[in-house]
Amino acid sequence: METQLDPLKDDLPLMANTSHMLVKHYVLDLDVDFKSQVIEGVIVLFLETGSRHRRTSSTDKEGCQSQFDETCKIRASEPCHIPVSNASVCSSKVEYNDFAVSGKGEKDTSDKNGNHSNEEQASGISSSKNCCDIESHGNKDFLLVLDCCDLSVLKVEEVDVAAVLDIEKFSMSAKLTDVSKEVEKNLRDQIVHELVTLPSHRWQEQLCYYTRCSQAPGCGELLFTTGTWSLEIRKSGVQSPADFPHAIRIWYKTKPEGRSVTWTTDQSGRPCVYTMGSPINNRALFPCQEPPIALSTWQASVRTAANFVVLMSGENSAKPVQFQEGIMSWYYYVTMPMPASTFTIAVGCWQEVKKQCFTAAVQTENEFSLPFSQADFRWHEEGCGHVDYPCRYQNPAATLQRVIPYRVFAPRCLMECCEEHLLQLIPQCLSAAYSTLGTHPFSRLDVLIVPSNFSSLGMASPHIIFLSQSVLPGGSHLCGTRLCHEIAHAWFGLAIGARDWTEEWISEGFATFLEDVFWARAQQLSHDEVKVQQELKALLRWRRLRDEVQNSEEELQVLRPHKESTGEVSESGASIVKHGLNAEKIFMQVHYLKGYFLLRSLARTLGETSYLASLRKFVHKFHGQLVLSQDFLSMLLEDIPEQKKSGLTVESIFQNWLDTSGIPKHCAFELQVTKWIRANQRIRKSGKKKRKQDEVVFQKV
């Protein structure tokens, strides 16, 4: 695939050469300064060599590898070296990181460059912008390419993980006593390899050693250069990914104009900063591998003034600890590998909304649950299909949890409104989602009412949902449906990601379809009420889709723009996201609506009960993984009995729905709409006033 970019086009480049090396874990150590509107700090990347580039020859290297394999087998049954109770002690050590201090020490010399662009930061080595396959161009140094823009990179170095005190307790490789330079280098790589491949039951020990390794001294600066979209790192004389350092530390700071975060004030007039869902994702927040294939875990320590709250994609509900007078530090982590683009942070003077005097109306098991069929349990017995991580689907207690722990944060002036309209809806919606799809993929949830400059109604990230203040007034309907939509993204969009970002419909179509299902269950409506409500919403969506299709570029209406080459990347792993930076596309709803109508028509073919059973099977099979459209469609069609299928194939769905612009010609929806309008006119005559009120609310959807 061609990765040269036409600057006049609106495509988004994914530059990282993930086929050569993959980031497995990020350790972020950041200071948030509201005066200068800069986030500054250190990031440590733990890398694995890409599968095609692993060492295969050289006898001593093989010896090392086989010893490592032995180590793995022995260690799997060993007790954890680090007692569980020590994990948090270990974690909090990151606050006293010497390197963060030395990073600050450089501030004076680097400040004069503070406003320079990436290009001007280049450190004097020859630039090779937009060139991802440098390795194949001859006998040159290997380049590690990271996605990055609007960042001031100050320094890059290799981390001497072998220098971590008592690392030999953890790593058998570290017991080697030979001290030649080559062996030292291999030793460091072996330690990182053992660390990133630790079995999931040792996740606490793993996090602890990630922290300690991230604080280890450096062992040599690395050369780097920055381009418009990338940070390229090389080590002089190193020509292959296998020989490249596997733990690297980058000192950097963000720029106030960087597009990953927005610095603004909340509704109470107090300063805040948050990741607002930029098309460039997090590449102006930290250097990373953006392609979704680079699934990684992360941990982050964030320091800021004591009156601020730091919320983040993390599975722990962080409690602040004092770093120094007036500065608090917040520590979060995740153990489920996810694309770096899903990392989300929000720092502001928000307050937690707590219930004062109402009793949460969460349904009990018996009232509410729709028992899963016997067929559901057959595939439950199969293991997970993803890489090893501490998965909730394998944890019996987690699989029974209808409502995960949740918190709500809001600016002071909206606290009362949130308590009244939002707080009691959350357990209802979470419970409805559980009764539809089963196990919650994430262990907890924070909901934040974001500042008024937020450009959409909601955004879902791991462990955190952003909601616009616009959903708060107007009764529970708007707030409830939006909450259900964002909760649905925990499964579709987060636990199951799109392998190709242009197939956005997989997350948005499903979330739009499921918000109706969840919301109907959350309200405990009768079958007839559900039908009327869902038909009405379908009608409004149909009109919106029809208008959009008539008034937008045809190319932007295609849900699978890469067609048969979807998911393909260049030899290095780089690719481009078609129209990823198109301003018009960002506000289009065609992916939501056309995706929704496809799923709705499939539900009608299959019948709702067996359709929802298929969705549960799909999330069980594909959670923790990336999918393409065909993964879902093939699985679904397998479950449809022949007589119902009537010519429905993956190819026909591509042809009619996903690979073409416009709306499928034979979609019988228009007919049903007319029928609905006629039926509705009769109802209106009897209850005109009530219906009018409802319609006002629906118009806003």
Name the residues annotated as catalytic.
Answer: 486
Please, which of residues 291-350 interact with Zn ion by CB under 5 A?
Answer: none
- Nearest approach in angstroms of CB 383 to Zn ion is 8
In the DSSP assignment, the letter for residue 342 is: G
Query: Nearer Cβ to Zn ion, position 302 or 391?
Result: 391
Query: Nearer Cβ to Zn ion, position 237 or 383?
Result: 383
Amino acid at 429: C
- Interface segment toward Zn ion; rule CB under 5 A; list 120-128, 392-400, 562-570, 587-595: 392-400
Report the C-alpha gap between 82 and 89 in whole angstroms. 11
> Exposed, middle or buried: residue 692 (CB in 10 Å: 0-12, 13-18, 19+)?
exposed
Query: Nearer Cβ to Zn ion, position 323 or 393?
Result: 393
Query: Nearer Cβ to Zn ion, position 124 or 383?
Result: 383
203 binds Zn ion (CB under 5 A): no
Report the C-alpha gap between 94 and 28 in whole angstroms. 10
Task: Please provide residue 442's backbone torsions phi and psi, each rounded to the nearest 5 degrees.
Answer: -115, 150
- Interface segment toward Zn ion; rule CB under 5 A; list 20-28, 30-38, 250-258, 390-398: 390-398
- Nearest approach in angstroms of CB 623 to Zn ion is 6
The count of residues in the chain is 701
Q: How far is CA 131 from CA 4, 118, 446, in A?
A: 8, 16, 40
Q: How far is CA 571 from CA 53, 473, 601, in A?
A: 12, 51, 38
- Nearest approach in angstroms of CB 387 to Zn ion is 10
- Nearest approach in angstroms of CB 492 to Zn ion is 16
Report the C-alpha gap between 209 and 204 in whole angstroms. 9
- Nearest approach in angstroms of CB 510 to Zn ion is 19
Report the C-alpha gap between 620 and 376 in whole angstroms. 10
Which two three-digit tokens encode residue 346? 């929000």
Select from 46, 99, 393, 657 the one that contacts Zn ion (CB under 5 A): 393
The three-class DSSP label of residue 97 is coil
Compute how many residues bind Zn ion; rule: CB under 5 A: 3
Query: Nearer Cβ to Zn ion, position 393 or 519?
Result: 393
- Interface segment toward Zn ion; rule CB under 5 A; list 114-122, 339-347, 391-399, 632-640: 391-399
- Nearest approach in angstroms of CB 434 to Zn ion is 16
Query: Nearer Cβ to Zn ion, position 292 or 438?
Result: 438
Report the C-alpha gap between 290 and 147 in whole angstroms. 6
- Nearest approach in angstroms of CB 291 to Zn ion is 22
- Nearest approach in angstroms of CB 497 to Zn ion is 14
- Interface segment toward Zn ion; rule CB under 5 A; list 244-252, 339-347, 393-401, 553-561: 393-401
- Interface segment toward Zn ion; rule CB under 5 A; list 156-164, 388-396, 464-472, 489-497: 388-396
3-state SS track over 639-698: HCCHHHHCCCCHHHHHHHHHCCCCCCCCCCHHHHHHHHHHHHHHHHHHHHHHHHHHHHHH
- What is the number of H-type helices and E-type strands within the chain? 22, 24
Q: What is the CA radius of gyration of the chain?
A: 26
Residue pair 601/512 in contact (Cβ under 8 Å)? The answer is: no
- Nearest approach in angstroms of CB 386 to Zn ion is 5
> Which run of H or of E encompasses 467?
strand 464-467
Q: Give the pairing type, strands 351-353 and 295-305.
A: unpaired
Please, which of residues 346-385 interact with Zn ion by CB under 5 A?
Answer: 384
490 binds Zn ion (CB under 5 A): no
Q: Which of 608, 564, 593, 610 is nearest to 664 (CA)?
A: 593
The three-class DSSP label of residue 473 is coil
Give the residues across from 274 on adjacent strands: 262, 346
- Nearest approach in angstroms of CB 456 to Zn ion is 30
Q: How far is CA 582 from CA 12, 19, 188, 278, 373, in A?
A: 9, 27, 43, 12, 44
Which two three-digit tokens encode residue 520? 């109907």
The three-class DSSP label of residue 519 is helix
The three-class DSSP label of residue 456 is coil
Cβ density class 403-412: b for 16+ within 10 Å, e for less? bbebbbbbbe
Query: Nearer Cβ to Zn ion, position 496 or 538?
Result: 496
Amino acid at 515: E
142 binds Zn ion (CB under 5 A): no
Select from 156, 391, 577, 619 the one that contacts Zn ion (CB under 5 A): 391
**Residues of this chain that bind Zn ion (CB under 5 A):** 384, 391, 393
